[in-house]
């Protein structure tokens, strides 16, 4: 229920923000007006003593959210992917949120597993460890399957986590409504939409069948990628509240000393991680949306192993082509082409000046390319690019923001392994290969072939559809204007049918 009973939760939240020194930081991030600021401080200040203390060594906002618990931690993590909402500084602070909480008892985890798979844990697993990791939503145990001896990771949702999250999400909705009511200026940031996005992400993560599905799809897409591995989903031992994957043994990507001791080439690993990410984003349109060091291991054979598939990004084929052309244009310093691509894709309103936009893009690119290779940052370029496009009226695209945020994370991982890595040199072959395969004559032929397949399915219905529209257009209409519109639609449909038919024939001949 999203009613006034949520006020107590919000008072506790405000008290914690006030005690951690984060109240002004949060109000600034959401561009709160004077009315909202007065209301927030009036509600929170008298109850500061009720707020959780948190860890004083953390930045204020991170400290407060960590102290408030799982839903707030997850909310902060998701907001870190939305600098368009909270600003770059706040997004940067929220990236370091600690997703490490005390584990719940192993006996409870075993009961959850038994309930989910319908068999006693001891009959399925010959061993089942204490928790090896505990996060806001779930914890992980290492186990051995009794029948095969295979070592696996068993992820189990926290008991009652769904109910707890629903309560907090209701409070978030209530807060968003109050923010919109008290601060009309904040409506530009669409607080209700932000909470709705958060709810969708979290509810997806609270069904581990969806994460299992994402892991399986990601594994299928990357099966042929050399030097990359995704643990196998054990479907018979997975369900809504339990997910079982093959155990990933390796060195954490952040442990540079151990990687050196094991004899791995860090420069090669850094380049491979960047190229893998670009391949997944451009080639597959499906990428790991949380590819930080904690979700990557280096196997004994040098493979990069990815896990934790709760946040995945998806980009449609058209957007991938646009993104690749933008990157390629920057690599070649062809700022006019980068500007044209933005206009062609409709990212920038058509009434803006394309030459002026190209000049603005040059001002973004030239200083960066003038830097030493170790300082050239693709993440910085993307951040500047979004600043420019916002100035020129580009609407926010959530999928590109997640891509940008993940690019920042991946670049950070790569530079940890090789501080002198030239990001652009490493990424250029991937982008050029994608352009070669997906922009140009070869891509056109492939698109025509796909169009022919659609025509093959709907072709028999087109003559009847065109006939119905022609008959409708010749019937008396309430006004000449509507009759003219009907005739236009009919002729457009006939023209489209002819064009599609020709396209199908050409595609058939080419294929």
Rounded CA-CA distance 314/323 in Å is 13
The active-site residue, picked from 290, 303, 308, 418, is 290
Rounded CA-CA distance 492/500 in Å is 12
Hey, is 105 helix, strand or coil?
A: coil
Residue 195 backbone phi and psi in degrees, to 5: -65, -40
Give the residue among 323, 318, 401, 326 at the shortest CA–CA distance from 358.
Answer: 326
Q: Hey, CA dihedral for 379, 384, 390, 394, is it positive or negative?
A: negative
Rounded CA-CA distance 315/41 in Å is 41
Whether 290 is catalytic is: yes
Which residues, including other chains, have CB under 8 Å from residue 507's CB and lie 6 or more apart? Answer: 445, 448, 449, 450, 451, 452
Please give, one letter per residue, the 3-state secondary structure of 179-201.
HHHHCHHHHHHCHHHHHHHHHHH
Rounded CA-CA distance 250/378 in Å is 28
Rounded CA-CA distance 507/55 in Å is 63
Rounded CA-CA distance 204/207 in Å is 6
E strand residue ranges, 269-415: 286-288, 296-298, 304-306, 312-314
Give the residue among 372, 126, 404 at the shortest CA–CA distance from 289.
Answer: 404
Rounded CA-CA distance 278/431 in Å is 8
* Contact criterion met (CB below 8 Å) for 90 and 76: no
* Contact criterion met (CB below 8 Å) for 273 and 304: yes
Which residues, including other chains, have CB under 8 Å from residue 38's CB and lie 6 or more apart? Answer: none
Rounded CA-CA distance 24/200 in Å is 28
Residue with tokens 């072939």: 449
The secondary element (H helix, E strand) that includes residue 153 is strand 151-157
Q: Would you tell me how many other CB atoms lie within 10 Å of the CB of residue 42?
A: 10
Q: How far is CA 323 from CA 314, 329, 344, 403, in A?
A: 13, 10, 12, 10
Hey, is 95 helix, strand or coil?
A: coil
Which residues, including other chains, have CB under 8 Å from residue 55's CB and lie 6 or more apart? Answer: 63, 66, 67
Which residues are catalytically annotated?
A: 290
């Amino acid at each position: 229920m999203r009613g006034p009973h949520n006020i107590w939760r919000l008072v506790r939240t405000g008290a914690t923000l006030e005690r951690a020194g984060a109240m002004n930081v949060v109000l600034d991030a959401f561009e709160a007006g004077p009315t909202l600021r007065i209301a927030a401080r009036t509600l929170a200040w008298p109850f500061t003593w009720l707020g959780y203390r948190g860890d004083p060594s953390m930045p204020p906002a991170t400290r407060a959210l960590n102290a408030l618990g799982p839903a707030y931690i997850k909310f902060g993590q998701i907001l870190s992917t939305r600098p368009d909402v909270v600003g770059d500084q706040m997004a940067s602070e929220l990236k370091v949120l600690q997703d490490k909480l005390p584990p719940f008892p192993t006996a409870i985890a075993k009961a959850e597993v038994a309930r989910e798979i319908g068999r006693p844990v001891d009959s399925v697993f010959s061993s089942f460890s204490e928790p090896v990791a505990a996060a806001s939503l779930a914890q992980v145990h290492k186990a051995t399957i009794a029948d095969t001896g295979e070592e696996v990771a068993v992820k189990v949702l926290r008991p009652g986590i769904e109910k707890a999250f629903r309560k907090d999400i209701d409070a978030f909705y209530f807060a968003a409504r109050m923010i919109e009511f008290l601060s009309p200026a904040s409506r530009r940031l669409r607080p209700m939409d932000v909470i709705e996005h958060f709810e969708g992400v979290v509810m997806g993560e609270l069904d581990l069948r969806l994460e299992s599905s994402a892991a399986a799809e990601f594994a299928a897409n990357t099966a042929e990628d050399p030097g990359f591995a995704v643990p196998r989903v054990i479907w018979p031992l997975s369900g809504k509240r339990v997910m079982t994957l093959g155990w990933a043994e390796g060195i954490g990507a952040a442990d540079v000393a151990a990687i050196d001791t094991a004899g791995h080439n860090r420069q090669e690993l850094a380049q491979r991680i960047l190229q893998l990410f670009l391949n997944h984003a451009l080639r597959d349109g499906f990428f790991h949306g949380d590819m930080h060091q904690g979700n990557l291991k280096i196997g004994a054979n040098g493979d990069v192993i990815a896990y934790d598939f709760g946040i995945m990004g998806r980009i449609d084929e058209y957007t991938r082509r646009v993104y690749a052309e933008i990157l390629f244009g920057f690599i070649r310093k062809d700022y006019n082409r980068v500007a044209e691509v933005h206009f062609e894709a409709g990212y920038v309103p058509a009434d803006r000046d394309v030459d002026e936009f190209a000049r603005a893009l040059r001002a973004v690119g030239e200083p960066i390319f003038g830097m030493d290779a170790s300082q050239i940052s693709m993440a910085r370029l993307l951040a500047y690019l979004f600043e420019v496009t916002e100035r020129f009226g580009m609407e926010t695209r959530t999928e590109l923001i997640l891509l940008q945020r993940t690019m920042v994370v991946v670049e950070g991982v790569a530079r940890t392994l090789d501080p002198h890595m030239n990001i652009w040199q490493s990424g250029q072959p991937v982008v050029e290969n994608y352009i070669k395969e997906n922009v140009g004559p070869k891509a056109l032929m492939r698109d025509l072939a796909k169009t022919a397949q659609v025509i093959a399915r709907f072709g028999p219905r087109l003559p009847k559809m065109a006939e119905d529209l022609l008959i409708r257009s010749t019937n008396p209409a309430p006004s000449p204007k509507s009759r003219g519109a009907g005739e236009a639609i009919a002729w457009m449909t006939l023209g489209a049918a002819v064009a599609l038919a020709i396209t199908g024939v050409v595609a058939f001949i080419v294929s």
